[in-house]
Structure 1
Amino acid sequence: MQASFLELQNGLDYDDFTSVDLVNAYFARIEEVNLQGLALRAVIETNPAALAQAAELDWEPQVYGKRGPLHGIPIIIKDNIATTAEEGMNTTAGSYALLGSIVPGDSTVAEKLRRAGAIILGKANLVNHCLRLQSEWAHFRGNLASGWSGRGGQCTNPYYPNADPCGSSSGSGVSSAIGLAAGALGSETDGSIVCPSNQNNLVGIKPSVGLVSRSGVIPISEHQDTVGPMCRWVTNSAALLTAIAKRDVRDNYTLAAPALVPDYTTALNANALQGARIGVPRIVFDQDNYTGNDPYVNVVFNQAIETLKSLGATIVDPADLPDAIEITQSNNETVVLNTDFKIDLNRYLANLVEVPTGVRTLADVIAYNLANLELELPTNYSDQSEFIAAEATTGFNSSYYTALYDDYALGRTNGIDAALQMYKLDALIMPSPGTNR
């Protein structure tokens, strides 16, 4: 079922259908293609309270009016985004190690969705697109089968049988692409919103760290994690971002964000590119050391550039980052992520109200996986190297801080910011595929 938020709201306003009807329709679609038929395995579980919530939202406008463009709209969220256990859903990052765990309450983004009137329809599977990193635990564990998580099994792209859905937010991407919900939330540490959005023909927005709270989201790295929308329409993604963005005292990174969040849908202007200067850091994806793109991606990318020109943009091509090659060869990110993951995950696990499996640290998770190979490893794979590397880290030492500082310099000071200033640009554009978390 494919419809924009506006089309769905119009249908609700004219009594063509109710929110209860929408929930039932999406549940029927999930039943049709998730485990049966195409067997996409995009949804890991549905919300047993969704129909009751939809019924309440159906009568609410008659008394109080609508809450906004998301009122009564079913949304899928990734299974690393916490929802209160009383509702009946798990929050597991795709792993049996956290099955039945009780979170302290809703994540901030789940709270914001509910306040905006959205219905959380269910949780999306965490899956990946490469053999290097498994997507269970948001694409940060080890060498495991493509598109696989312990709880969710093997997810595939809806556009071609058994094709790569990409990134750990692929369950969210597939859900939006094939109409299992009106829209979805994913999370990204390194590409897991933009790549599955690319692979599933969606509009994905990876917000800057701090614009959207990560409180209640199973972490990889406080320096890189973020939550964002994945939808079929720009307007839907803009509306979702408006709903979830804002400062949050439970995530101090958000205190650097603007005090007042705008309505991002008001910025959608067909004439906005008139006079804009857009740069293409071509050396990053035209070089042999960048392996993320199929050659045809670059063909389509160049066609997109021509479209931008036709809309009034000035294209600066190339507009290379001064340290582009150094960025592709740097290992700083791995140093930071391994340390952050151990510290941030241990904090998350310690704050859980209850964990039936007893896992309270990363070391416990590693031990659980080894003790439950039949649940946590697909056939012919036996690796959790990323977990082991993270567990071996020794905290915030000089190597960590050096890598973190160098990351900022590479990506910002001598990278994006430098290119924007050097070429007097408003924005940079690139193709989105690549290795992702």
Structure 2
Amino acid sequence: MKTIKALCWLAFFVLFSANSWAADDPTIEQLQYQLNRGELTSVVLVERYLDRIAQHNRDGAELQAVLSVQEREKLLQQAKQLDAEREAGKTRSSMHGIPVLLKDNIDTADGLANTAGSYLLRDHMPPNDAFIVAKLREAGAIILGKANLSEWANFRSTNSSSGWSSLGGLVKNPYDQSRTACGSSSGSAAAVSANFIPVAVGTETDGSLVCPAAINGIVTIKPTVGLLSRDGIIPISASQDTAGPMARSVADAVHLMMAMLGYDKSDAASYNDTVNYVEHLKTDGLKGKRIGVMRELAGYNNELDRVFNRRIEELEAAGAIIVDDLRFPNGRNWGGDEYTVLLYEFAHGMREYFEQSPHPDFSSLEDLIAANKEHAGVTMKWFGQELFEMSVARQADHEDYKQAKADAKRKAGKEGIDAVLKEHNLDMLIAPTVSPAWKIDLINGDHFTGSASGAAAVAGYPHITVPMGFVQHMPVGLSFFGTARSEGVLIEAAHAFELMTQARRAPVVASPH
């Protein structure tokens, strides 16, 4: 009997190993295990992901998640060098030899254009790597290419459809190509979800990491503003912008984030952080945590609420102390101030970006407005550029901007998140991340019904979303957010929740025809 059982387990192991690439969406730790044992090389890894992208990006499932990839020979040469280092006993980090996609608003100096998804910047070649890209290369990551996105990070029109860009087309949701991938980090999220890549880098001003992560069934960490440098990233707001890791697990997101950490004197918000966030990947990370349930950020979808309520019971069963039915003391009263801040900072930020990353034809938002009009048949096929024009018009309102900036931070931070945490002696707050994915509508734009992104985005505080289940066939996410620099405690809770629930199911990526 023991022999039969042993043979059965051996057969299972062989079958599991043979199918693990397609079925398991391998984690960074699994890949490193295989790489270190010589069962896999980074060369093979690069080829596999390139083939996967070729199979389902413009063909097959037609996800349109990837805008550009580096030349195959360049990638293979990098991979060979990293394989040789590993063989010689040198492993730079947990990202050594791991391919990564970057959202296409992040500078690289390797021959890949940085476009913000716009036809106008199709030939924009930055002179330097962004700070976080340099850190990734130093850590041994392989920059495979650039991910599609909502054009200009979804800050061009008041009537846009998330995931569409004039250069890359419309990103599709791998769970249902008729539904949104959200944005603006649409391609980064869809690519990770569909196993085009192990991990990707996205960016957020308000919701652009957490919305696509939740809607595509993956994890993201939107860090405290300043934890990751914004150097070399096409901006919207110096007050709220941040890059962040996108992954299929909390652990993978942490490994990618760790590889991008570093103080950058060129970024006024940057700070030196010496925390090893890998140490916060605790299996018992929920035990004793005081968690506040933000009912103000729920209640807009009955099925979503049912999933949310079930997970709250499980959090409590895992040892968390739940404080329910919470609301912000003054409501969500920061929206008008946030809008003023974003409009004012955008035009300033674009001028500064083009000073550091010059383009032969553009140096300001005014230049881009004129060029969009000239190429309207391509760039403004589905929607206009009202936000561009409003940003330029607000440049004289400096005093209004300064007041709005102070008010927004105070309302969302000290009088919002921090006030709720303090009143109830909480470690963090939770809510459903965003509504289930809506049908794509290029005529009327997005159909948001609710989101938890605003408070943490405006305050500049950390926010993690983790898959928590499904509403019918579409994934939905659970948000953990808290005060500034509380990434460690959020990671503990999010990781333990993920291990406990195992809520993610990979999409079936196939041709829709």
TM-score, normalised by the number of residues in structure 2: 0.78
Q: CA deviation at 1:363?
A: 0.6
Match of 2:420 in 1: 419
Which of 131, 145, 168 pairs up with 1:152? 168
* CA shift digits 1:74-114 (9 cap, x unpaired): 01110001110xx2211011012112123130001111111
Contact 2:203 2:241 in 1 (8 A): yes
Match of 1:131 in 2: none
Match of 1:266 in 2: 279
Matches within 5 A, 1:29-428: 29-48=52-71, 49-63=74-88, 65-84=90-109, 87-126=110-149, 135-142=150-157, 143-254=159-270, 257=271, 259-286=272-299, 293-327=300-334, 330-355=335-360, 358-378=361-381, 381-395=382-396, 397-428=398-429
Range 344-353 or range 66-75, more displaced: 344-353
User: For the residues of structure 2 that align with 1:8 and 1:406, how far apart are their CA atoms?
Assistant: 46
Q: CA deviation at 1:146?
A: 4.3
User: For the residues of structure 2 that align with 1:91 and 1:261, how far apart are their CA atoms?
Assistant: 30
User: For the residues of structure 1 that align with 2:206 and 2:359, how far apart are their CA atoms?
Assistant: 30
Q: CA deviation at 1:260?
A: 3.9
Q: CA deviation at 1:217?
A: 0.4
Question: Which one-letter code corresponds to 1:34 in the other structure?
Answer: N
User: For the residues of structure 2 that align with 1:419 and 1:112, how far apart are their CA atoms?
Assistant: 36
Q: Secondary structure at the match of 2:246?
A: strand
Q: 1:376 to 1:201 in 2, by over 3 A?
A: same
* CA shift digits 1:102-156 (9 cap, x unpaired): 3130001111111111101110001xxxxxxxx2011100023443101110111
Match of 1:432 in 2: 433
User: For the residues of structure 1 that align with 2:206 and 2:383, how far apart are their CA atoms?
Assistant: 24
* CA shift digits 1:262-294 (9 cap, x unpaired): 2212111121221111001212333xxxxxx53
Q: Secondary structure at the match of 1:318?
A: strand
User: For the residues of structure 1 that align with 2:303 and 2:411, how far apart are their CA atoms?
Assistant: 29
Q: CA deviation at 1:395?
A: 4.7
Contact 1:343 1:395 in 2 (8 A): no
Contact 1:41 1:156 in 2 (8 A): yes
User: For the residues of structure 2 that align with 1:325 and 1:74, how far apart are their CA atoms?
Assistant: 40
Contact 1:284 1:325 in 2 (8 A): no
Question: Which one-letter code corresponds to 1:344 in the other structure?
Answer: G
Contact 1:41 1:155 in 2 (8 A): yes
Q: CA deviation at 1:301?
A: 1.4
Detail structure 1 runs of 4+ shifted over 4 Å in the superposition: 434-437
Match of 2:478 in 1: none
Q: CA deviation at 1:430?
A: 1.3
CA RMSD of aligned residues (A): 1.6
Contact 1:242 1:261 in 2 (8 A): no
Contact 1:41 1:125 in 2 (8 A): yes
Q: 1:97 to 1:278 in 2, by over 3 A?
A: same
Q: Secondary structure at the match of 1:331?
A: helix
Identify unmatched segments of 5+ residues in structure 2: 1-20, 435-449, 458-513
Q: Aligned pair count?
A: 412
Q: CA deviation at 1:320?
A: 1.8
Q: Secondary structure at the match of 1:298?
A: helix
Q: Secondary structure at the match of 2:46?
A: helix
Contact 2:154 2:162 in 1 (8 A): no
User: For the residues of structure 2 that align with 1:429 and 1:12, how far apart are their CA atoms?
Assistant: 37
Q: 1:206 to 1:260 in 2, by over 3 A?
A: closer
Q: CA deviation at 1:350?
A: 2.6
User: For the residues of structure 2 that align with 1:102 and 1:161, how far apart are their CA atoms?
Assistant: 32
Question: Which one-letter code corresponds to 1:386 in the other structure?
Answer: L
Q: 1:57 to 1:403 in 2, by over 3 A?
A: same
Q: CA deviation at 1:382?
A: 4.3
